[in-house]
Structure formats: C-alpha cells, structure tokens
Amino acid sequence: MSAVSASAAPGAALGLRFAGAMLSDVGLVRSVNEDSVGFVVPAETGQVGMMLVADGMGGHSAGEVASRLAAEVIRRCLFEVPGPVPRILSTAYTVANKAILDYAASHPECAGMGTTCTVLVIGDDKLFLGHVGDSRAYVLRHATLKQLSEDQTLVAKMVREGVMTAEEARLSEHGNIILQALGTTPEIAPDIWGEGVALQAGDTLLVCSDGLHGLVPDDVIAEVAGRLAPAEACEELVRRALHAGGHDNVSVGVMRAFIADDADGRADHNTRRIPAFRDEGADAQRATRQLPAFEGQR
C-alpha cells in the first residue's frame, strides 16, 4: 500500500506554521516495501516535529524489520527522551543500532539486515539532521535545492576525494555500496548536527529514499517540491520515480514552513489517505558536527 498524509500545525516562537505530507510506494519491481517512514508536524509552541525515512536491506523481508525498528526507536526517543535534540538523536541512533543487532541475534533469518536512516527534526523553528546511509534530506530555499545529508556510499566518498566525477559516480556499477548502515556493526558514527539551523517562511524540507533520488534528478525534485503543495508534491514525485522505472521502493516526505496568514504556503490541512498507485497501474555522546548556514540564508 501507498498512503499519503497531509496536515498543518502552528509553529513555535517565530510564528511559523508547517504543512507536510509523506508517501511510500513499493515500486514496480519489488514485492515488499522495505522502506519505513515517520512524519509528525509540530502541533504547538515548543513541540518537536520530524520527517524520517529508513531504507532497509537484507533478504526475506529482513530489511523491512530493520527499517521499522529504526523508525520506531528514533521516533520514540525524540518524543520520550528529554534533553537537547542533538543529544537525543545521538541516543536514538545508538539505541536503534543495538535494537537491530539484538533482534538479528535472536532471529537467525534476519542475520545481516540493516537500514539507512535519515531524519529531519524541527524544534523551536530550528532544523536538525540525523543521518546514516544514502537516504537524503534537502532544503529548498529561494528556489535553490540544497542537499543537507552527505551520502555515505563508496562512490560519494570517491567524488569527495576527487577520485571520481559526479557523472562517473552516477553511472558507476558500485553506486549501491553503502559504507554505513544501522544494524551492520556494533559501532556507528551517525552524522548529527550539533546545532540547529534557523528556518524561514517559505523553506521546503524534503526527505527521501534512493528509490526517488536515484531516479529523479535534483532539478526535477526542486521544481515539483517548489510548485506543488506537500501532498501533491509527494504524489507527483513518486509518479516520476515510477515512470523512470520504479525498480526500488520509493519514499518521500515534504514539509513547508510558512506564516499563518500566507496563503501561498498553505496545503491541504486535513490528514487524508489516497489510493495506492499499484491500484492505478550505549554511549549517547556520539560525534556531532555543525552545519554552515544554508546558502541564501538572510
């Protein structure tokens, strides 16, 4: 099944509101959706909001188990563990990694499973990132799409080191080699922002699995996310991925910040579901880093 939800809620101190949606589809080739997603719009001042995508890996549906464990553990930590967001995210990733390893140890059929996990967290009109793997997070600001996460893949590492060009990486047969995933090793080094970045009205946030960004170019993602309300943007982006082959599960979440009286920022304010497209065809003090200001930030 594919389902999309859309809602809007008041923001925190600066008067921002947030509207968002999330959609996941099994794709055209696979029989099981191993992606898991999470989506919470900030409902009142000081409340945490989030968008999360986890892309599982492992045979016999084990990837589905790993991604579900990661999504549930991280969601619960965000809403149940007190403290600053970076510390909570560090705890959440550590606990999620152990939960997946423990489950695999007691369920031999799940041995070797793992999952990517990328989450954007909103707190007091600031944005935080937690990231492992090759799912992605973006921000669209002033019509410019900026990738916030850094792909933890072999080809991405080679591009950063100047060994390979971006075009060579795109065409490489090794593009699916992930350097880090939850549940694959006892020690992980999640990429977690040590400080939040201030959000602005008009910012559009996006998270997705590689089933989207591996098939739909960034310029198309930017055009669709900037033109359509969140629910419609999710639907259109999944359609684009399916039209491009849909050989993987496809998950995408879109959330937009806007001022309460800004009609241009509004989306469908009611939670809703749409038909599946198939019907139509330990140590919590992990390393953190500080992200420079978004390009175009005023």
Domain coordinates of the chain in residue numbers? 4-265
Residue 29 pLDDT more than 50?
A: yes
pLDDT in tens, 63-83: 999 999 999 999 999 999 999
Residue found under tokens 């979440």: 253
Residue 44 pLDDT more than 70?
A: no
pLDDT for 8 equals 58
Residue 87 pLDDT more than 50?
A: yes
Q: What is the mean pLDDT of residues 117-122?
A: 98
pLDDT band at 89 (very low <50, low <70, confident <90, very high): very high
φ, ψ (nearest 5 deg) of residue 192: -130, 130
Sort residue 246 into left (φ over 0), alpha (ψ -120 to 50) or beta: left
Distances (CA, A) of 191 to 7, 89, 130, 188, 289: 28, 10, 6, 10, 7
Dist. CA 17–CA 146, nearest whole Å: 21
Q: Which residue has the higher pLDDT, 139 or 152?
A: 139
Q: What is the mean pLDDT of residues 254-272?
A: 61
pLDDT for 11 equals 43
pLDDT for 268 equals 42
Dihedral sign (CA 180, 183, 187, 191): positive
Mean pLDDT of the residues in the chain: 83
193: closest CA among 107, 278, 84, 109? 84
Residue 272 pLDDT more than 90?
A: no
Q: Is the Cβ–Cβ distance between 96 and 114 less than 8 Å?
A: no
Residues 6+ apart with CB under 8 A from 162: none
Q: What is the pTM of this model?
A: 0.83
Dist. CA 31–CA 29, nearest whole Å: 7
pLDDT for 47 equals 74
Q: What is the mean pLDDT of residues 183-207?
A: 96
Dist. CA 92–CA 190, nearest whole Å: 10
Dist. CA 227–CA 233, nearest whole Å: 8
Tokens of 210: 């590689």
Q: What is the mean pLDDT of residues 262-288?
A: 38
Q: Which CATH number fits domain 4-265: 1.10.10.10, 3.40.50.10860, 2.60.40.10, 3.60.40.10?
A: 3.60.40.10
Q: Is the Cβ–Cβ distance between 3 and 24 less than 8 Å?
A: yes
Tokens of 237: 């982006």
pLDDT for 30 equals 93
Dihedral sign (CA 39, 41, 44, 47): positive
Q: What is the mean pLDDT of residues 82-91?
A: 96
Residue 278 pLDDT more than 50?
A: no
Dist. CA 174–CA 163, nearest whole Å: 14
Q: Which residue has the higher pLDDT, 199 or 265?
A: 199
For every residue of 116-183, which 3-state class applies, written as one string? CEEEEEEECCEEEEEEECCCEEEEEECCEEEECCCCCEHHHHHHHCCCCCHHHHHHCCCCCCECCCEC
